[in-house]
Amino acid sequence: MKISNKTILITGATDGIGKVLAIEFSKLGSNIILLGRDASKLDKVYDQLDQSNASQKHLILEADLALLNHESAHEILKAITSEYNSLDGIINNAAILGTMTTLEDYELSRWDEVLNINLRAPFILSKTLKPALENASDPRIIFTSSGVAKIGRAFWGAYSVSKFGLKGLAEIFANELESTSSIKVFNFDPGATQTKMRASARPAEDPSSLKTPSELVDCYLWFFSEESSNSKKHYFEYDELSRKVTST
């Protein structure tokens, strides 16, 4: 996989899938930009990044995606372009579950927070950071999907709505950029995985029955591969992509 020396921004990089991707990608030579809202957690993950290669440069960006706007997104762009010549990838991983309740009982403030983090922020970041991506040779934008992005389920409320919206957003970005840019856009449903969010959504579930975030690394690496450059598909689920990765 062509991952060495690539500069990759990972949102929600302090826990779960984002944290594991940051650590494992750094071991393969990537420059990692950690974006999260908890400074202490960001520092702890930063300390776990591989820094044995003198040419690697990692960066911490502390930002609350619930409050992201045009101005703060441009500050992020400025911080990235001041440190790197280009941005090779954005992994839009950050998300919150919100409240598991009926739509009738859903609190509007919580609804807005979920939509802001899960949908609005990936939109703002992706459009704002596009100039930095255009400077890379094989840039990628990766959105994170969910099983509730395809079928509405009772009590999943704002989270499900945000993932429906994100699926559409990824499709529109992919369609618009297909003939005008070298940026490839993918949307990936990692499926049931051992994360804090999964435990919150399904507290009675045995976590040992689920795959770990580490088992997703090869799938995410595939998105940066030469094979993915020729892919006409933009939406992948874990089972399908894991078979593809295993067979190559």
Residues carrying an active site annotation: 159
Which residues, 6 or more positions from 81, have their beta carbon under 8 angstroms from its beta carbon?
A: 132
Q: What's the length of the chain? A: 248
Strands 7-11 and 31-36: parallel
Three-state DSSP class for residue 59: strand
Identify whether the C-beta of residue 158 lies closer than 8 Å to the C-beta of residue 248: no
DSSP letter assigned to residue 117: I
Amino acid identity of 33? I
How far is 145 from 133, CA to CA, in rounded Å? Answer: 21
Residue 92 burial class via C-beta count within 10 angstroms: exposed 0-12, middle 13-18, buried 19 and up: buried
Which tokens hold the place of 42?
């960001």
On the CB side of 82, CA atoms within 13 Å amount to 8
Which tokens hold the place of 66?
């619930």
How far is 109 from 247, CA to CA, in rounded Å? Answer: 46
User: What separation in angstroms does the CA of 228 have from each of 25, 30, 117, 220?
Assistant: 17, 18, 27, 11
